[in-house]
Structure 1
């Protein structure tokens, strides 16, 4: 009987481990993963505490790919080969799909899609209903954005929804270059480390060669696969177009042209690059998370002001995936600051689609009681997350303890 129980437990553990390692095709899209459905239940606040302030950083919502060339260069190859009967039947079908994609994307590259608009309106609505005390009467909402249009539009849709829910809110919206010093900052050392000439890139290119295998795909699309000058680049270009379909309003998919392991292989390389260039990978020796120090300082300084005023308020910041990833790593938020030195295991330690999908956001919710004792809860993509510090109230932490911990992370304490 005991051996039977042990065997059943072994099977359960094995099944769990395998299920956690299996990605959906959409998740293999890396940072193009569309915002997932958030949880519907949260841990109630301790008795006597109610929210009064929210500090937030959000990535822009779902978007088209960032440049026209990312579509047109691929289509040009397919069109050229079509003219000389160089496409297989599947290749001709993919060409037709690509033209539909370009018809939808033309003139919209880099912009937020209708889905991205809805994501921010829905996140704002849930925030409003989850923490109504913060948005009561004429509460002050200070919204700041990267100068990128997709970020500014995300801010606009988010705050517009708040105003619809409570027209009395006092909302200020700004997208000035002066805010880029903290909303989207990268140090000169960080720029150099992330460049294509950085020494770590040599090992990374070898890793790419092992994981990006275009041979089968090229043969399935092109009569003469050797006609493709850079098959690796073509495969990655098609991968990104396939990944972005979840962010646009088209009933199209390209997942059928890939084998599952091909998608996972490309994702591993993208995930590795995002991990090294932004998160807590030992390869960057903490350099990239430290780029978020100005942002974390702004969060701490803004919280001090809000606590001193004591009136309901929210500070909303809208930026980009890389800067959110660095902030989360710097703050050592659960699952966001794992360290792994072996590139073959990066994907087990850290997953970009989980940390920063389209529309990703960090919400720090501040609560207080009648004695003005302050607790905070942190939400990543609206999921409760922990910090590496002790708490007597589950996901609710003493603000004084959190502040001390975070000030040390900025080097000011």
Structure 2
């Protein structure tokens, strides 16, 4: 009888753990973390100063998958396994869930979701609410996007929120600016770094430490019958788990579309196919890959950060252009995580440029969900007083940022000239100016 009670407890414990997997800490979502609206900050503007200009970068909003579910390895593999009756009961349930997700995503891939539109709309509203003094008549906005449709959709939603607050007419100019916003696609050196960089050995070492191969084998064993599992190659197992984990991380962004397709969230919730520990481990690997590919990595001045130099120069130039001859109330840019993360690192934003003590600590030191969640954004907010002095406030995800290497004039406000000199010297050190001629650049702005 006692043994029976113990067995019941063990079985119930196992079922409970599995049933509540979807309530795990969602830090594993990393770059797919939904944007969190910050609490309203108190107005701490230095006496005599007022906001005059905003320079802004925004990652696109919450989105759908970038490729159709039914073109993935997981789809083709599970579909065939199901037809051969080689799936376990959990495997059958997984396949049925992915079929439902395919219906949700069909026709929506590469687009931002309803959640994303809401995130961007509210960000546009808050831009005006927080910096209304900058939007004096006539209001002129200049914005840039990339070739990807989700950046255009994000810009449209953001501007819709901004315009809902501005009652006067707005003059808007726009452009596609892949040079400054998709720099990671234009650098042969970076392409080589992605495929051959020393960081790959570090990531492989982390996978060994986390015993990834064994973990993926255990996961696959819950979905596939032994006869199929024994013929599965390691690379195939890895791809299967990776695809399903990718599907799982997107469902939080498409809740509106899940309902529109006639399903509930639980109908497409894939977290129940993993344990909390498995989700955490997979999240660690995702965070590490992002850290090495588009964060501080092995070298904070490495190619993965250096590629953001054109965007840093553009922020400096557009800020100084405003000071010289105000033309736009705000410069807005809509891009990608691969844009925002290296830009935050090259800016020396404190929590975006920290080095982790070890690969196992990356997700605790460099947190993608805090730095580059969906709709992540960076603001350079310029303030001026009656004497013509300018202060700059830097914000990451609407929160004031500390900048390594620059001492603030007061609070989170930096003397613009000092901040500019810091960044120009950094650009020269990175080889961003031909012949290191900073004076030539400066003279062109006088």
Whole-angstrom CA distance in 2 between matches of 1:113 and 1:240: 16
Of 289, 303, 308 in structure 2, the residue corresponding to residue 287 of structure 1 is 303
Shift of 1:207: 2.4
Match of 1:218 in 2: 220
- Name the SS for the 1:243 alignment partner: helix
Whole-angstrom CA distance in 1 between matches of 2:72 and 2:144: 34
- Name the SS for the 2:334 alignment partner: strand
1:47 matched to 2:47? The reply is yes
Q: How does 1:143-292 map to 2 (within 5 A)?
A: 143-176=143-176, 179-186=177-184, 187-195=187-195, 197-211=196-210, 212=212, 213-224=215-226, 225-229=229-233, 230-249=236-255, 250=258, 251=265, 252-283=268-299, 286-292=302-308
Whole-angstrom CA distance in 2 between matches of 1:203 and 1:166: 50
**How does the TM-score come out when normalised to structure 1?**
0.88
Shift of 1:264: 1.5
Check conservation: 1:281, 1:338, Cα contact below 8 A: no
Match of 1:10 in 2: none
Match of 1:403 in 2: 420
Check conservation: 1:143, 1:173, Cα contact below 8 A: yes
Whole-angstrom CA distance in 2 between matches of 1:345 and 1:70: 35
Match of 1:58 in 2: 58
Q: For each residue in 1:209-235, what CA deviation from the matched residue of structure 2 results, as whole angstroms up to 9, or x when unmatched?
A: 443321222122222333544212211
**Structure 1 residues 331 and 70, CA gap change in structure 2 (3 angstroms):** farther
Shift of 1:311: 6.4
Shift of 1:352: 1.6
**Root mean square deviation, CA, Å:** 2.1
Check conservation: 1:144, 1:316, Cα contact below 8 A: yes
- Name the SS for the 2:351 alignment partner: coil
Check conservation: 1:59, 1:360, Cα contact below 8 A: yes
Check conservation: 2:57, 2:377, Cα contact below 8 A: yes
Check conservation: 1:242, 1:255, Cα contact below 8 A: yes
**Structure 1 residues 390 and 200, CA gap change in structure 2 (3 angstroms):** closer
Structure 2: stretches of 5+ with no match in the other structure: 1-22, 259-264, 439-446
Whole-angstrom CA distance in 1 between matches of 2:300 and 2:346: 13
Shift of 1:285: 5.1
**Structure 1 residues 227 and 118, CA gap change in structure 2 (3 angstroms):** farther
**How many aligned positions are there?**
388
1:301 matched to 2:299? The reply is no
Check conservation: 1:55, 1:316, Cα contact below 8 A: yes
Q: How does 1:353-392 map to 2 (within 5 A)?
A: 353-388=369-404, 389-392=406-409
Structure 1: stretches of 5+ with no match in the other structure: 1-22
1:120 matched to 2:136? The reply is no
Check conservation: 1:338, 1:350, Cα contact below 8 A: yes
Check conservation: 1:365, 1:377, Cα contact below 8 A: yes
- Name the SS for the 2:143 alignment partner: strand
Check conservation: 1:283, 1:341, Cα contact below 8 A: no
Match of 1:138 in 2: 138
Match of 1:20 in 2: none
Whole-angstrom CA distance in 2 between matches of 1:374 and 1:227: 66
Check conservation: 1:25, 1:255, Cα contact below 8 A: no
Check conservation: 1:139, 1:170, Cα contact below 8 A: yes
Check conservation: 2:300, 2:353, Cα contact below 8 A: no
**Structure 1 residues 283 and 148, CA gap change in structure 2 (3 angstroms):** same
Q: For each residue in 1:102-143, what CA deviation from the matched residue of structure 2 results, as whole angstroms up to 9, or x when unmatched?
A: 101012222111111111111010111111112233221101
Between structure 1 and structure 2, the one with the greater Rg is: 2
Q: For each residue in 1:261-314, what CA deviation from the matched residue of structure 2 results, as whole angstroms up to 9, or x when unmatched?
A: 211111111111111111222257522111011001110000011112246610
**How does the TM-score come out when normalised to structure 2?**
0.82
Q: For each residue in 1:13-42, what CA deviation from the matched residue of structure 2 results, as whole angstroms up to 9, or x when unmatched?
A: xxxxxxxxxx96432112111112222224
